[in-house]
Amino acid sequence: MPSPYDMTREEVAALLEDEPPYRARQVWEGLHTRVRRPEEMTELPAGLRGRLAEAMPPALTEQTRQRADDGETTKWLWTLHDGARIETVLMRYTDRVTVCVSTQAGCAMACQFCATGQAGFGRQLSQGEIVEQVAVAMRAAEPRRLSNVVFMGMGEPLANYDRVWAAVERLHAEMGLSARHLTLSTVGIVPGIRRLAAETLPVNLAVSLHAANDELRDELVPINRRYPLADLAAACAEYVTASGRRLSIEWALIDGVNDRERDAAELAAFARPLGAHVNLIPLNPTPGYAVVGSPPARVRLFRDLLGARRVNATIRVTRGVEIDAACGQLAAGAAHRAGSTDAPAEPVRLPRVLPAR
Ligand code: SAH
């Protein structure tokens, strides 16, 4: 059992067979509502606390914890039982507290500009390893209430569908997080989006688009070759109809690559029929992709170009840049973690195929 949060209620109760019946509920609520480790459940007799602590060790061992943005952002690097490493980021805003969780150790999607994609795939995370990240963040957020969970850390959530969905259900049923405060972010795995559309919990869906013509998207986001834009748009439409949720489109603005007027026009043509909201993120630098993010004026212009085409777009304020906790920078255990001084001097690598301008 990798994490206590992999255990079912029955499995927890089975550990407490010789105890009065109310103990099982106490421990279950201790784990999920008060998010405490068994050894901290002072309502339990000391002997029992010790026994439970041994029977359900945590999955996450803290390797490092870093703070940024005047303490408003916390990033953890965790080691799992088999040595795999993942990261979790907690972001405190005035109106909400959001945790960004990993769903896989590494990622197989190989998006060019993403540090996790550059590092490759490790393994799937279990349901409990995902939920435990939320539990730790909930605890760290106190006295504030953790309000939002975004599945936007390392990994592709829809390539680990069953475990991710089990985690979603646990967060919803046991930890008081409503579906509209949960957001799954996907590179665009079409069968996964269709499965989501058939679920009864209407979570938010974000699609990492980054290019709205197949030629460029094939380059930036290789899974596009399997699930091209027309199929993706159809699956998104199905999700919007089934869930009643507004779709989000993520667009990392890359200087000279996807930030021109033509890109805005293509994006608008994709987003408008879906009624989607666009999140613009200036590309964060990663060691394996030397193309830079669009300058601020270009980002604002791009937003205005979308606005002129009646597409709502907001510019995402990036958190955690200085501790490599920003979008796409998570790459636990990678050698380049040490920073730019250790990074090999690589030539600027532009996507091989650039659309004709
Ligand atoms: N695999 C999922 C979720 C993890 S990635 C997905 O693709 O959506 C989370 C978000 O960060 C995605 O929108 C991804 O495209 C974006 N991202 C990756 N690398 C980035 C970078 N270097 N700068 C800005 N955003 C990046």
| Region of poorest pLDDT, from 50-59, 156-165, 245-254, 285-294 | 285-294
Which stretches of the chain are assigned E, i.e. beta strand? 61-68, 73-79, 85-92, 97-100, 104-106, 121-124, 148-151, 182-186, 204-208, 248-253, 277-282, 313-315
The Cα 193–Cα 209 span in angstroms is 14
Supply φ then ψ for residue 205, to 5 degrees. Answer: -120, 130
CA angle 282, 284, 288 (to 5 degrees): 135
Concerning whether 100 is annotated as a catalytic residue, the answer is no
Give the Å distance between the CA of 45 and the centre of ligand 1. Answer: 46
3-class SS of residue 330: coil
The Cα 112–Cα 98 span in angstroms is 26
Instruction: Establish whether residue 3 lines the binding site of ligand 1, counting it when its CB lies within 6 angstroms of any ligand atom.
Output: no
CB-CB contact of 252 with 283 (8 Å):
yes
Is the pLDDT reported for residue 356 higher than 80?
A: no
Tokens of 106: 């590494």
Residues in the chain: 357
Q: What is the mean pLDDT of residues 103-129?
A: 96
**H or E element at residue 81:** none
| Per-residue pLDDT reduced to its tens digit, 159-209 | 999 999 999 999 999 999 999 999 999 999 999 999 999 999 999 999 999
Instruction: With CA atoms as reference, report the closest residue to 293 among 254, 324, 332.
Output: 254
Catalytic residue chosen out of the listed positions 87, 132, 219, 266: 87
Strands 97-100 and 104-106: unpaired
Q: Give the pLDDT score at 289.
A: 87
CA angle 105, 170, 64 (to 5 degrees): 40
120 torsion bin: left (phi>0), alpha (psi -120 to 50), beta (else): left
- What percent of the chain shows pLDDT beyond 70? 93
| Per-residue pLDDT reduced to its tens digit, 26-48 | 999 999 999 999 999 999 999 99
Q: Give the pLDDT score at 290.
A: 83
Q: Give the pLDDT score at 161.
A: 98
Q: What atom of ligand 1 comes closest to residue 208's alpha carbon? A: 13
Is the pLDDT reported for residue 353 higher than 90?
A: no
Q: Give the pLDDT score at 331.
A: 85
Instruction: Establish whether residue 328 lines the binding site of ligand 1, counting it when its CB lies within 6 angstroms of any ligand atom.
Output: yes
| Per-residue pLDDT reduced to its tens digit, 296-346 | 999 999 999 999 999 999 999 888 988 898 888 898 665 444 443 333 333
Give the Å distance between the CA of 326 and the centre of ligand 1. Answer: 9
Q: Would you place residue 357 in the very low, low, confident or very high pLDDT band (cuts 50, 70, 90)?
A: very low
3-class SS of residue 28: helix
**H or E element at residue 225:** none
Q: Which residues contact 124 (CB under 8 A, 6 or more apart)?
A: 104, 105, 160, 163
Buried-exposed string 89-112: b where 16+ CB fall within 10 A, e elsewhere: bbbbeeeebbbbbbbbbbbebbbb
Instruction: Establish whether residue 185 lines the binding site of ligand 1, counting it when its CB lies within 6 angstroms of any ligand atom.
Output: yes
Q: Would you place residue 291 in the very low, low, confident or very high pLDDT band (cuts 50, 70, 90)?
A: confident
The Cα 90–Cα 298 span in angstroms is 29
Q: Give the pLDDT score at 270.
A: 98
Give the Å distance between the CA of 283 and the centre of ligand 1. Answer: 9
The Cα 221–Cα 198 span in angstroms is 26
Burial class of residue 72, CB neighbours in 10 A (0-12, 13-18, 19+): middle
Q: Give the pLDDT score at 333.
A: 60
Neighbour count for residue 317 (Cβ, 10 Å)? 9
Tokens 């930036």 locate to: 220
Instruction: Establish whether residue 156 lines the binding site of ligand 1, counting it when its CB lies within 6 angstroms of any ligand atom.
Output: yes
Q: What atom of ligand 1 comes closest to residue 285's alpha carbon? A: 22
Residue nearest to atom 15 of ligand 1 (CA): 208
Torsion of CA 265, 271, 276, 278, to 10 degrees: -40
Is the pLDDT reported for residue 348 higher than 60?
A: no
